Amino acid sequence: MVHRDEILKPIWHAFAALDLDRTGKVSKSQLKVLSQNLYTVLRIPHKTSELEEHFKDDDEGPVSTQGYMPYLNMFILDKIQGDFDIMELNRMCWTLCSRKKSNLNMLITDTDAFKIWCIFNFLSEDHYPLIIVIEEIEFFMRKLVDAVGSDWNEGRFVDYKAKLSSWKDKVAQHEGLIRLIQPGSKGPQKMTNWGAAAVTDKELEVRERFWQEKKNNPNNFV
């Protein structure tokens, strides 16, 4: 059974992608479509009439994340049975996000960007906006560099780490991680063979347990 927090992360990205004006709110018509897609990919039976009724037009205007969460929790997340494919959920939410990120001029393929996005979500802290602690970025980058057969450049990463404090608005989003992987000054470098090899399930499990323990006991952070 996929943990609830891991289901919520891609949905948060989808909500943010629909918030085109950066007001923290999304129109009811867009949330109705998002909810319909969530019912489909999460394989939750529902009545279209009830969905239409809940998101019918009124004078209250767009809905914030706080306004959408009660519906998301009660009518969607609480009804998940576990017989769904988490990658279908990821792909659906990524489709919304990738449209928003189309102006990044990425040097990697959309498929590879999607893989990075999934890893970002997995390694990110479970509070919002989603961020990754610097130690997790370094761990991921070392595994990625090793998987594509390159040499780790400690000096270059130290330079990036020094800049992260001024990148808060970027690193909080997955494109910040993409920018670390492909700093625009270099030519295109395809990364199509690193996905499964970069981090094994066992290593991810160990890392997740390690960081959960640290989060539960803040005094452990160095």
In terms of average pLDDT, the best of 71-85, 95-109, 110-124, 125-139 is 71-85
Report the greatest alpha carbon distance in the chain: 59
Of 9-13, 20-24, 51-55, 202-206, least confident by mean pLDDT is 202-206
Contact (CB, 8 A) for 180 and 141 = yes
Does the structure show a pLDDT above 80 at 181? no
Q: Which residue has the tokens 């499964």?
A: 196
Contact (CB, 8 A) for 119 and 199 = yes
Delineate the domains of the chain, giving CATH numbers in brackets.
4-79 (1.10.238), 105-220 (no CATH)
- Is it true that the peptide bond before 10 is cis, omega within 30 degrees of 0? no
Compare 104 and 83 and report the one with higher pLDDT. Answer: 83
Q: How far apart are CA 93 and CA 11, in angstroms?
A: 6
Among the listed residues 55, 58, 79, 56, the one whose alpha carbon sits nearest the alpha carbon of residue 4: 79
Kindly state the tokens that stand for 4: 């609830």
Compare 24 and 198 and report the one with higher pLDDT. Answer: 24
What's the mean per-residue pLDDT of the chain? Answer: 75
At residue 191, the 3 state secondary structure works out as coil
Does the structure show a pLDDT above 60 at 208? no
pTM for this model (two decimals): 0.68
Instruction: Report angle CA 125, 149, 190 to the nearest 5 degrees.
Output: 75
Contact (CB, 8 A) for 131 and 172 = yes
Of 95-109, 161-175, 194-208, least confident by mean pLDDT is 194-208
Q: How confident is the model at residue 104 (pLDDT cuts 50, 70, 90)?
A: low
Instruction: Report angle CA 201, 87, 174 to the nearest 5 degrees.
Output: 80
Q: How far apart are CA 203 and CA 3, in angstroms?
A: 18
- Interacting residues of 135 by C-beta distance below 8 A, sequence separation 6+: none
149 dihedral zone (left: phi>0; alpha: psi -120 to 50; beta): left
In terms of average pLDDT, the best of 8-22, 121-135, 136-150 is 8-22
Contact (CB, 8 A) for 132 and 125 = yes
Q: How confident is the model at residue 62 (pLDDT cuts 50, 70, 90)?
A: confident
pLDDT, residue 92, reads 94
